[in-house]
Structure 1
Amino acid sequence: MARDGQGLEVSNAGAEAIASLDFLRDEWLSFGNRLPEFVAAADKETRCTLLPVMAANLVLSMNSDEGRATAARYLARAKALAKDANAREQAWLATTEAWIGGNIDRCLKIHEDMAAEWPRDLLAGKLGQLHAFNCGDAEALLRIGERLFAANQDNRYVNAMYAFGLEECNRIDEAESVARAALEVDRRDPWAHHAVAHCLEARGRMLEGVAFLEAMSDTWEGCNSFMYTHNWWHLALFLIDLDRTDEALALFDKRVWGVWKEFCEDQINAVSLLARLELRGVDVGNRWADVAQYLKPRLHEHFVPFLDLQYLYGLARAGEQSAVTEMLASLEDKAENAKPFEREAWADCTVPAAHGLAAYAKGDHAEAARLLGQAMPHLSKIGGSIAQRSLFSAIHLDALMKSGWNDAALKILQADDRERPTVPWTKRSLGDVYRRVGRMEQALAAEYQAEQLSRQYARGKAS
């Protein structure tokens, strides 16, 4: 029986099928922009079941109704070729069918089992981490990374995957070390760049983050739109925390929005960046209207709650009230009919958060603070990374401050400042709230620290 480049047996595979699978593995794990070449090969394959199976997973990762329908057709072809499928291939068929059916808990269980049984199947591990990510299960994300790392310590892709799991479990120092080890093998690994960016952001090392990402950005030109726009998005986050919001807005226009406007990941990068800029007082002009026209077809998709909340907020900020009303009703229906494993994500978090975001977009800050406060204890369940979900925490905090809930806002700001004591905006906000509650000495100290940090960063930019 033929084996692929990882030494895994592949049923009914000729040399071209093996070459296509190896190409897919490397292109997917390097976030390359040549994946349509694999789809073309899968469309022509008449013997090997893994090619249409992998094509199904590829289009499912687009998180669209069109992708799901296309995946169902690929799965039907794969099943027709599966007479001699081995155990690993049967597992791929089972998880693909579960994904099409929305049974993500089953997908994740199968992928965890695959990581234990076939840790050299790097795409099974990558997809398993994706399902863990979308389920908000950081521990599973890390478990899969650990199993792959134990069997592939010489592989820079696996280092980056393991590093991301470590970071999402708040093992920041380990994560940075493992990600940088991947870059010692190959500085071009964009997922390792991404993991390092998460670590630097978590520690509030913004100047270092800008320097690091700018130094690596020459390697992103061959990346797909998600990885290209998302790493530039991370650079924009550092710039925002450095009070360089004009540069962050310029990155929105030049690097973050416009590569593939129809793709969900590009859309949420855009929504999140505009929202974060507005939270820092930036006028983003008519950019919401452009983004919103690409969000309107997504009102009833409900693939990942984390995505839906950003779609809704983008529509709300664009003033698309009828679309917001329709999407809120659809989310309530989704929550009412949610499977048991996803009920907390949809019913306990997404529905109140969505109504809270809609209220915030209309300027009803007290209602936004109340509803988002209900959602916050369940936030990790909606999917996304710690850094990405912080958008909703930031909107909640702003709603608290604008509605005069000073004690609650102060508690959050103090915790933020302990974790990242290098952000001028946090210090200024602390000073503002301290003044409101009559703690003038602490207000003056926070304001002084903010000014000192701003001067330090201005010197760092000049040098």
Structure 2
Amino acid sequence: MDDAKTTATRVDRWGYQLRTSSDACVVAIDAYYDQVLSYGRNRAIILDAPANDPACVLGNALAAHFLCSKDLPKASSLLVSAAAALKNATSYEKAVYEAIILLVGDGRDEEEALSRHFEALPHNQGQSFIYGMLAFPLLELGRMAEAKSVARRGWEINRFDIWSQHCLCHVLQYECHFNEAVEFMESCSSTWRSCSSFMYTHNWWHVAVCYLEGNAPLRKVLKVYDEQIWKELQRNYSDRAEVFVNALGLLLQLDVRDQMDVMKDRLLLAAETLKDKSMWHVEWLLDILSLWTLARAKESLKAEELLNSIKSRNSFLKKQNVMQRATQLAEATYEYGRGNHHKVVDILGPDFDAIDFKMIGASDEQLDVFNEIWYNVLLNTGNASKAIDLIEKQLKKRVGCPYLWRLLEKAYGIAGKGDAAMAAEKAKALEISYFN
């Protein structure tokens, strides 16, 4: 029998064994490794693996992981195909399958998935990618010192490693080293052109947010939005939904800081695109940002239609109780976009903290804006004391953030506290220390 038609043990580019009847399947898997590790523009190449061998566990599992945020039914079908062939799989294939199940299956467990990542570390001491990829879950678990050390190790091995660059920026941003973060990322930016549109614009989103948080001239923020984010949407529509997460996230940051006047035209242009339902339900964070955009642009009918669609879809999800909270945040963001701040308070309740909403697929930095919304809503609805408590707590972690000090100044003023002048002085000192 022709060997190309016979299931055999082959090896991937790392020397790991897999069972497949197709050389083309292995080629697709190897190409996918390259695309993932460089966050390249052609990750869809992995779909060629199950197309060439529907019984390959590794090909099915990796394709399922690629599709899980784009086409969940198809991803689930691929995982079923992988499971059906597990008895003939190699130990490596089984390990990959089990790790992916922990990330996208019904028994999702990020902590356990991270522990499996650590198990791979001794075998990849000289590879930059393993450090960059490990740094990100460490960030999301709040283990900043470890994340910084690991990301820096990856960057020292390979200064072109996108994940190491990205994670180092996360740490610098969290530490309120905005000047350093911008300088570092702009020095790396020449290496981003081969990235996917999402990663390219996400890196620039970080730069823009650091400019914004560091009180840089607004023109610098808008230049990043116009030249690096919005223009990328015109160049490449293959992953435009993911790019819109960066565009809308930045617009929301500007709106929270009362900059609607300078970005109104940009908001209206984005809202016009979001009327297209093909942009809906790609991922939770995009839906929530889209609700705010449509509501803020006074596209009321479309905003209501999207919100109702989100509620309807949620009723069919297996993890209904968990995702009900995501729907709650969606509805609150919609009401915020409409200017109904009292309704936002009613929806979110007294104990809201955006860090509890990671189920929408957002990083800590992407979630920060929802806490900033919450502080403003509390101040605008007569809950200054509650806002003061929360802002002071946040400042213990991010003492170098001038915007938080400005919010605290406002809160103290509303509450009639004499500490408002102190907060204003602290904010001003920070504002002149960055980008000047």
User: Does the C-alpha gap of structure 1 residues 135 and 448 become closer, same or farther in structure 2, counting only changes over 3 Å?
Assistant: farther
In structure 2, which of residues 60, 84, 89 is the aligned counterpart of residue 86 of structure 1? 89
Give, in angstroms, the shift of residue 407 of structure 1: 0.8
Aligned partners of 1:243, 1:137: CA distance in 2, in Å?
Answer: 38
In structure 2, which of residues 21, 28, 34 is the aligned counterpart of residue 26 of structure 1? 34
In structure 2, which of residues 64, 69, 72 is the aligned counterpart of residue 57 of structure 1? 64
User: Does the C-alpha gap of structure 1 residues 416 and 338 become closer, same or farther in structure 2, counting only changes over 3 Å?
Assistant: same
* Matched position secondary structure for 2:13: coil
1:195 aligns with 2:167: yes
Moved more, 175-184 or 354-363: 354-363
User: Does the C-alpha gap of structure 1 residues 328 and 155 become closer, same or farther in structure 2, counting only changes over 3 Å?
Assistant: same
Matched residue, 2:377? 399
1:102-146 deviation line (CA, Å, top 9, x unaligned): xxxxxxxx86x734xxxxxxxx5xx855x49x9996534533432
Which residue identity does 1:157 align to in structure 2? F
In structure 1, which of residues 209, 223, 226 is the aligned counterpart of residue 181 of structure 2? 209
Between Structure 1 and Structure 2, how many residues are aligned?
419
Aligned partners of 2:88, 2:298: CA distance in 1, in Å?
Answer: 52
In structure 1, which of residues 157, 170, 194 is the aligned counterpart of residue 142 of structure 2? 170
Moved more, 257-266 or 236-245: 257-266
**Would you say the 8 A contact 2:294–2:303 is kept in 1?**
yes
**Would you say the 8 A contact 2:128–2:157 is kept in 1?**
yes
Aligned partners of 1:410, 1:136: CA distance in 2, in Å?
Answer: 36
In structure 2, which of residues 201, 208, 224 is the aligned counterpart of residue 251 of structure 1? 224
Which residue identity does 2:188 align to in structure 1? M
Q: For 1:36-435, what aligned pairs fall within 5 Å after superposition?
A: 39=47, 42=49, 45=52, 49=56, 53=60, 56-57=63-64, 60-61=67-68, 63-64=69-70, 67=71, 85-87=88-90, 114-115=98-99, 131=104, 139-140=111-112, 142-244=114-216, 245-257=218-230, 258-259=232-233, 260-261=236-237, 263-282=240-259, 283-298=262-277, 302=281, 304-339=283-318, 342-347=319-324, 349-373=325-349, 376-377=352-353, 378-435=356-413
**Would you say the 8 A contact 2:326–2:359 is kept in 1?**
no
**Would you say the 8 A contact 2:57–2:86 is kept in 1?**
no
**Would you say the 8 A contact 1:230–1:269 is kept in 2?**
yes
Give the TM-score of the pair, scaled to structure 2. 0.84
User: Does the C-alpha gap of structure 1 residues 2 and 254 become closer, same or farther in structure 2, counting only changes over 3 Å?
Assistant: same
Give, in angstroms, the shift of residue 302 of structure 1: 4.4
Aligned partners of 1:135, 1:85: CA distance in 2, in Å?
Answer: 23
Give, in angstroms, the shift of residue 294 of structure 1: 3.7
* Matched position secondary structure for 1:11: strand
RMSD over aligned Cα atoms: 3.3
In structure 1, runs of 5+ residues without a counterpart are 92-109, 116-123
In structure 2, runs of 5+ residues without a counterpart are 1-8
**Would you say the 8 A contact 2:378–2:387 is kept in 1?**
yes
Give, in angstroms, the shift of residue 280 of structure 1: 1.4
Aligned partners of 1:269, 1:38: CA distance in 2, in Å?
Answer: 25
Aligned partners of 2:183, 2:316: CA distance in 1, in Å?
Answer: 47
Aligned partners of 2:117, 2:75: CA distance in 1, in Å?
Answer: 26
* Matched position secondary structure for 2:400: coil
Give, in angstroms, the shift of residue 189 of structure 1: 0.9
**Would you say the 8 A contact 1:45–1:51 is kept in 2?**
no
Which residue identity does 1:179 align to in structure 2? A
1:387-422 deviation line (CA, Å, top 9, x unaligned): 112222121112112222101111121122111111
1:401-453 deviation line (CA, Å, top 9, x unaligned): 2222101111121122111111221112211211222222x211111111111
Give, in angstroms, the shift of residue 298 of structure 1: 4.5
Moved more, 2-11 or 138-147: 138-147
Question: What is the percent sequence identity of the aligned residues?
Answer: 27
Give the TM-score of the pair, scaled to structure 1. 0.80
**Would you say the 8 A contact 1:373–1:396 is kept in 2?**
no
Matched residue, 1:453? 430
